[in-house]
């Protein structure tokens, strides 16, 4: 995996092969960040990365200047790798070993961007539970954005906070916003 832009542009990272992960492809990641370049100011955002795996998305946000990133994963090896890499590169990433669903129930902070990359075999209901928990527990700042990466076989467009989906190969990014009624009315 490599960091595609920012202060660590071009840096290659090699995660241990023993980690149970499916990192976002460079093609999909570059496409996602091209979309985000037009929507957010990286240097002012706080980011929550759920199902963080190797930290691929967290490193990209940090390299682009995000002020604070929290990476959540249930696998100890993933959390350890993210923390080690963040320390080596002096990145503002805090990695936490936790079940994502339990973390969303107890989290105290709010975030500007919440990214989740659950396993591709998750059901639509299980993926929607992530979005529901974020909004129910008010973890997203008013102008924030939730992004769920999922398989092209999953359709999350029926969720009330859904705004759009972008497909890149076998990956899809679904976007969700706070205050959706106001956004659609142009307010």
In a domain, 24, yes or no: no
Its sign, for the CA torsion 137, 178, 115, 153, is positive
Say how many domains are in the chain. 1
pLDDT (0 to 100) of residue 170 = 86
In-domain check, residue 131: yes
What confidence score (pLDDT) does residue 179 get?
Answer: 63
Q: What share of the chain is helix, strand, coil (3-state, %, to 5)?
A: 35, 25, 40
Assigned token pair, 143? 């102008």
> Is 158 part of any domain?
yes
Residue 39 lies in a domain: no
Q: How many Å apart are CA 135 and CA 69, to the nearest integer?
A: 19
Full domain range(s) for residue 140 = 50-184
In a domain, 76, yes or no: yes
Judge whether 157 lies within some domain. Answer: yes
Does some domain include residue 118?
yes
CATH of the domain at 141: 3.40.50.150
Asked if the structure places residue 66 within a domain, the reply is yes
Q: What integer pLDDT is reported at residue 185 of this predicted model?
A: 40
Angle at 78 between CA 100 and CA 76, to 5 degrees: 75
Give this prediction's pTM: 0.92
pLDDT at 123: 87
How far is it, in rounded angstroms, from Cα 151 to Cα 170?
Answer: 6
Per-residue pLDDT of the chain (187 residues; tens, 9 = 90+): 888 998 898 888 887 777 877 777 888 889 999 999 989 999 999 999 999 999 999 999 999 999 999 999 999 999 999 999 999 999 999 999 999 999 999 999 999 999 999 988 888 999 999 999 999 999 999 999 999 999 999 999 999 999 999 999 889 999 999 865 445 444 3
């Amino acid at each position: 995996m490599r960091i595609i832009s920012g202060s660590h542009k071009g840096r290659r990272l090699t995660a241990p092969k023993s980690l149970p992960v499916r990192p976002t492809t460079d093609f999909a990641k570059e496409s996602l960040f091209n979309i985000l370049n037009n929507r957010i100011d990286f240097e002012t955002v706080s980011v929550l990365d759920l199902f963080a795996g190797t930290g691929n998305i967290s490193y990209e946000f940090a390299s682009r200047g995000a002020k604070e990133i929290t990476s959540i994963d249930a696998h100890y090896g993933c959390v350890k790798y993210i923390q080690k890499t963040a320390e080596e590169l002096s990145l503002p990433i805090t990695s936490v070993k936790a079940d994502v669903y339990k973390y969303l129930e107890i989290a105290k902070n709010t975030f500007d961007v919440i990214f989740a990359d659950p396993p591709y075999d998750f059901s639509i209901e299980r993926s929607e539970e992530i979005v529901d928990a974020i909004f129910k527990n008010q973890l997203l700042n008013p102008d924030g954005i939730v992004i769920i990466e999922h398989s092209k076989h999953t359709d999350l467009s029926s969720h009330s906070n859904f705004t759009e989906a972008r497909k890149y190969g076998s990956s899809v990014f679904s976007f969700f916003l706070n205050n959706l009624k106001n956004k659609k009315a142009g307010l």
